[in-house]
């Protein structure tokens, strides 16, 4: 077993290895594989073939990046991916935070535009901004979304 480990270490020395972009490609390949399982049963096969091609492409590209010896180019690719990810992820982080914090509501301070998290209590309230100290009125409405509006309250 130690002989195998040693051969693997020698093989991987000087190669780029696994990074965030490779992890993204592997995850995208896995998602495409699961999607392909469901698309296989559709009567038109062209979408299935496209999904299958993308699945294979993601895996092959990820393995290519992992085994590549051109570490400079792979580092640039990873940095470009991280720049794009850092622009996109705050949108999703904010959405997941708002879903997680259903008992709170988010308002902006009119003076400094700081985002304040307030308890979701119906009515008018006076709030003080912790950043600039401005006191201002906030009106909170509690809205209930009925999933089935035509079925009545029960």
Average pLDDT over every residue of 8-13: 87
- C-alpha 40/C-alpha 48 separation (Å) is 6
Residue 95 φ then ψ, to 5°: -65, -45
User: Is 22 buried (19+), middle (13-18) or exposed (0-12) by CB count in 10 A?
Assistant: buried
Average pLDDT over every residue of 91-95: 81
Band the pLDDT of 145: cuts 50, 70, 90. Answer: low
Domain spans of the chain, in order of start: 2-100, 104-140
Q: Dump pLDDT digits (tens) for 79-89.
A: 999 999 999 88
Beta-strand pair 115-119/104-108: antiparallel
Q: Dump pLDDT digits (tens) for 108-135.
A: 898 898 988 888 888 888 999 999 999 9
Q: Residue 152: pLDDT above 80?
A: no
**pTM value > 0.85:** no
């Amino acid at each position: 077993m130690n002989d195998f480990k040693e051969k693997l270490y020698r093989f991987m020395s000087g190669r780029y290895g696994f990074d965030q972009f490779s992890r993204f490609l592997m995850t995208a390949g896995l998602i495409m594989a699961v999607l392909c399982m469901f698309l296989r049963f559709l009567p038109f096969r062209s979408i299935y073939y496209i999904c299958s091609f993308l699945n294979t492409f993601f895996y092959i590209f990820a393995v290519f990046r992992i085994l590549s010896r051109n570490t400079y180019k792979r580092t640039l690719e990873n940095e470009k991916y991280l720049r794009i990810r850092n622009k996109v992820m705050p949108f999703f982080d904010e959405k997941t935070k708002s879903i997680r914090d259903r008992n709170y509501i988010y308002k902006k301070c009119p003076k400094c535009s700081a985002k304040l998290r307030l308890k979701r209590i119906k009515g008018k309230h006076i709030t003080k901004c912790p950043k600039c100290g401005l006191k201002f009125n906030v009106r909170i409405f509690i809205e209930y979304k009925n999933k089935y509006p035509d079925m009545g309250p029960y």
